[in-house]
């Protein structure tokens, strides 16, 4: 007997990487081997030296195929064993190791938008739906578009053993959110990439596509973000560390250093309108959804907890955003 292993990796497409996958048939009980692929077809190599290496780093029960089949998340390496330049997970491994004693946790809110053909799901042909207002956490066929896909995606994520904390309908029709975490930096980023793969794969069977475009519709419609919630052990134990983390993100050129890597097109989403802060002005505040970083009101009441970095785009690389936040905040808290 055999089982199917779906090898999933992140490609070299610029400015936003895409997910790729292919299937390997393995003998029952066989371990997951290193594998290869044609990097010239994924913006990860030139044609004359095209071989790239897939190294399994995490595997999950495959909820689509069921049985003993698995999803296998991989890192990409050159044939000499160095991480490929598109491999952003390699740098996160080092950073999370360096600050392991601070026990960082992340919860990432992934917003996304369904499309059918060229239009967001729920947008009428050649026009616009009623303005925003009733769609967020709505109910009913006049407000909700794609729930069957969303429910199936959630079930698939749970069956794969992913730690999701919830889902909700978003402010624009056809726009939704799921939350992954709280988990360690590597776990949250791995699981978010796999949850994204499952989103595309689940929607595919409904003839629907999903996009992480940060501003899928121009004009007076909310963009799509990936609010990144963060804590260390010290922050979960006391308020001083919570404030210090929020302060650290605003010091010494950090705001721009972070923003540059918070997803392509971040300036188009962080305009100061639609529950965002302007991309070039750092601010933080309690309960403030117009700030770059929010301290949830409950955190201020409890005098401990976490902060929410509201700036990352939906299309952010979770390996990068978690590395930057740990690098900035854990370094500041170490002092």
Query: Which stretches of the chain bind ligand ADP, using CB under 6 A?
Result: 105-107, 109, 165-166, 179, 181-182, 227, 229-231, 236, 305-306, 308
The residue number whose beta carbon is nearest to ligand ADP equals: 107
- Minimal distance, residue 49 CB to ligand ADP, in Å: 41
> Rounded to whole angstroms, how far apart are CA atoms 199 and 105?
23
Q: Beta-strand (E) ranges in 69-117? A: 70-77, 105-116
Nearer to Mn ion, 63 or 212 (CB): 212
How far CA 110 is from CA of 15, 82, 238, 257, in Å, comes to 19, 30, 27, 22
- Minimal distance, residue 335 CB to Mn ion, in Å: 28
- Pairing state between β 70-77 and 2-10: parallel
Among 6, 109, 190, 309, binds Mn ion (CB under 5 A): 109
Nearer to ligand ADP, 13 or 165 (CB): 165
Segment near Mn ion (CB under 5 A); pick from 10-18, 109-117, 118-126, 265-273? 109-117
The listed partner (ligand ADP, Mn ion, none) that binds 244, CB under 5 to 8 Å by sort, is none
- Minimal distance, residue 220 CB to ligand ADP, in Å: 21
- Minimal distance, residue 205 CB to Mn ion, in Å: 25
- Minimal distance, residue 59 CB to Mn ion, in Å: 24
> Rounded to whole angstroms, how far apart are CA atoms 296 and 305?
9
Triad 186, 201, 192: Cα angle to 5°: 15
| Torsion (CA) 3, 161, 188, 154 in degrees, nearest 10 | 110
The listed partner (Mn ion, ligand ADP, none) that binds 213, CB under 5 to 8 Å by sort, is none
Nearer to ligand ADP, 33 or 161 (CB): 161
> Rounded to whole angstroms, how far apart are CA atoms 107 and 306?
10
- Minimal distance, residue 69 CB to Mn ion, in Å: 22
Name the residue among 226, 242, 332, 327 with its Cα closest to residue 285.
Answer: 242
Residue 101 neighbours by CB distance under 10 Å = 10
- Minimal distance, residue 127 CB to Mn ion, in Å: 25
Calculate Rg over the CA atoms of the chain.
20
Nearer to Mn ion, 227 or 323 (CB): 227
The H or E element spanning position 61 is: strand 51-61
Nearer to ligand ADP, 179 or 313 (CB): 179
The answer to whether residue 177 forms part of the interface with Mn ion (CB under 5 A) is yes
Annotate each residue in 212-241 with x if it binds Mn ion (CB under 5 A) or - if it does not, as one string. ---------------x--------------
DSSP labels, 110-161? EEEEEEETTEETTPPTTS--SPTTS-TT--STTT---HHHHHHHHHHHHHTT
The listed partner (Mn ion, ligand ADP, none) that binds 107, CB under 5 to 8 Å by sort, is ligand ADP
Query: Please, which residues have CB within 8 angstroms of residue 128's CB and are 6 or more apart in sequence?
Result: none
The answer to whether residue 309 forms part of the interface with Mn ion (CB under 5 A) is no
- Minimal distance, residue 236 CB to ligand ADP, in Å: 5
Nearer to ligand ADP, 163 or 268 (CB): 163
> Rounded to whole angstroms, how far apart are CA atoms 95 and 324?
9
Binding site residues, Mn ion, CB under 5 A? 109, 177, 227
């Amino acid at each position: 007997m055999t089982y199917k292993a779906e090898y999933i990796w992140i490609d070299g497409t610029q400015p936003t990487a895409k997910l790729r996958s292919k299937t390997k048939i393995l003998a029952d009980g066989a371990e997951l081997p290193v594998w290869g692929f044609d990097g010239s077809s994924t913006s990860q190599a030139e044609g004359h030296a095209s071989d790239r290496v897939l190294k399994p780093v995490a595997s999950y029960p495959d909820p689509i195929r069921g049985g003993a089949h698995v999803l296998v998340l991989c890192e990409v390496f050159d044939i000499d064993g160095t991480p490929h330049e598109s491999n952003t997970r390699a740098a996160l491994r080092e950073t999370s190791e360096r600050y392991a004693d601070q026990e960082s946790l992340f919860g990432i809110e992934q917003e996304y938008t369904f499309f059918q053909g060229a239009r967001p799901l729920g947008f009428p042909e050649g026009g616009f739906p009623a303005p925003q207002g009733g769609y967020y956490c709505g109910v009913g066929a006049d407000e909700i578009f794609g729930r069957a896909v969303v429910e199936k995606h959630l079930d698939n994520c749970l069956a794969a053993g992913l730690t999701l904390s919830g889902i909700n309908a978003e402010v624009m029709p056809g726009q939704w959110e799921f939350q992954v975490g709280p988990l360690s930096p590597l776990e949250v980023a791995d699981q978010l990439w796999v949850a994204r793969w499952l989103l595309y794969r689940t929607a595919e069977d409904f003839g629907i596509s999903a996009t992480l475009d940060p501003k899928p519709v121009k004009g007076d419609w909310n963009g799509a973000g990936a609010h990144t919630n963060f804590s260390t052990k010290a922050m979960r134990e006391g308020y001083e560390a919570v404030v210090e983390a929020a302060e650290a993100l605003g010091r010494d050129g950090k705001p721009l250093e972070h923003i540059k890597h918070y997803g392509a097109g971040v300036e188009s989403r962080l305009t100061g309108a639609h529950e965002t802060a302007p991309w070039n002005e750092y601010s933080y505040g309690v309960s403030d959804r117009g700030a770059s970083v929010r301290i949830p009101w409950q955190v201020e009441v409890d005098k401990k907890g976490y902060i929410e970095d509201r700036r990352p785009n939906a299309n952010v690389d979770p390996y990068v955003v978690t590395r930057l936040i740990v690098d900035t905040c854990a370094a500041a808290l170490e002092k």
